[in-house]
Amino acid sequence: MEGDHNLNHHSEMIRQIIDTVENVVVGKREAVTLTITALLAGGHVLIEDVPGVGKTMLVRAIARATGLDFKRIQFTPDLLPSDVTGVSIYNQHTKEFEFRPGPVMSNILLADEVNRTSPKTQSALLEALEEGNVTVDGCTYQLFDPFFVMATQNPIEHGGTYPLPEAQLDRFLFRIQLGYPEWHEEIDMLDRMEHGHPVDQLTPVVEVEDIQRMKMEVKEVFVSDAVKQYIVAIVRETRNLDRVELGVSPRGSIALMRAAQAYAYIQGSSYVRPDDVKRVAPYTLGHRLVLEADVLGPKGQDDKMIQRMLTRISVPSTRKDIVT
């Protein structure tokens, strides 16, 4: 009973976070929910979309609503790895080197237009994304807890960009798009912006300790053997898809399970259901596919390939299989 009480309590806290963010990011509840899912799963998010649809505002609003420390890096071709991680500077008074932390030393890091910087600087994020620490001049520094990266890139403009390699894409739990708002949502947006920016009015609805506690509880969400087999069946099927050169790796299986656990937790469930897996699968697996070189088409077609594939995978059908 106490576990159910905690789930209900935290479901209410998560609802408050989402509602608060929606005061700024209008009509994007799915994207907001997925972002909170990734945060609680200990993952990171890549947002691919055109300029001006609210990518930066989504990150700022989540930082405000959660009370987490927030920093932003505008990636450019001349950005250095030390501009991300920090640098050691010699102090003439103490006769010692002192570490000056970079923007990566924060709870929430916005990596804006990450594909506009050199691969060397992009790789500076790799250790932070995977290991939760950075190494500068041979010294390792632990990052904040939680540490959450949201990276953005414009999928339309390719001039002067450096596409993220598959190994780096694999470090992002989700890839999402925001898209243009509906007519009434855009009118609502103008109304809210008429007398100032609503993000400046946001106040935290949770504390850092709440986020840390929820991250720990996500790991306790039960995943039955039947659901694990379902996850593996999905991932293995991606390796047999037409026009796919490389399917999803075992790391993708783990990512899908973690994402499903966090999504189930947000829904107030103590166990993962097949619907939770299906809900997060396109966002978790689409960017992990390597399509054949001659495959052309609109962005997001890999997500649609995953959605079509899901209709062919046998789903655990009894409650007993799911909760035991």
| More confident position, 308 or 3 | 308
Q: What is the pLDDT of residue 5?
A: 56
Q: 3-state SS of 149-201?
A: EEEEECCCCCCCCCCCCHHHHCCCCEEECCCCCCHHHHHHHHHHHCCCCHHHH
| More confident position, 187 or 295 | 187
pLDDT at 278 over 80: yes
pLDDT at 237 over 60: yes
For the record, the structure tokens of 101 come out as 């932390």
The pTM score is 0.89
For 133-170, what is each residue's pLDDT tens digit? 888 887 888 899 999 999 998 777 666 677 887 777 88
Q: How confident is the model at residue 257 (pLDDT cuts 50, 70, 90)?
A: very high
Q: What is the pLDDT of residue 260?
A: 97
* Among 128-142, 151-165, 177-191, 207-221, the least confident range: 151-165
Q: What is the pLDDT of residue 69?
A: 93
User: How many percent of the chain have pLDDT more than 70?
Assistant: 91
Q: What is the pLDDT of residue 292?
A: 75
Q: What is the pLDDT of residue 136?
A: 83
For residue 196, count CB atoms less than 10 angstroms from its CB and return exposed for 0-12, middle for 13-18, buried for 19 or more: exposed
* Among 4-8, 11-15, 150-154, the least confident range: 4-8
User: How many percent of the chain have pLDDT more than 90?
Assistant: 44
The C-alpha R_g of the chain, in whole angstroms, comes to 20
Q: What is the pLDDT of residue 1?
A: 47
Averaged pLDDT, 34-54? 89
Q: How confident is the model at residue 74 (pLDDT cuts 50, 70, 90)?
A: very high
* Among 31-40, 133-142, 276-285, the least confident range: 133-142
In single-letter form, the type of residue at position 20 comes to: T
Give all strands of the β-sheet with 174-176 in edge-to-edge order: 70-74, 108-112, 148-153, 45-48, 174-176
Averaged pLDDT, 179-191? 85
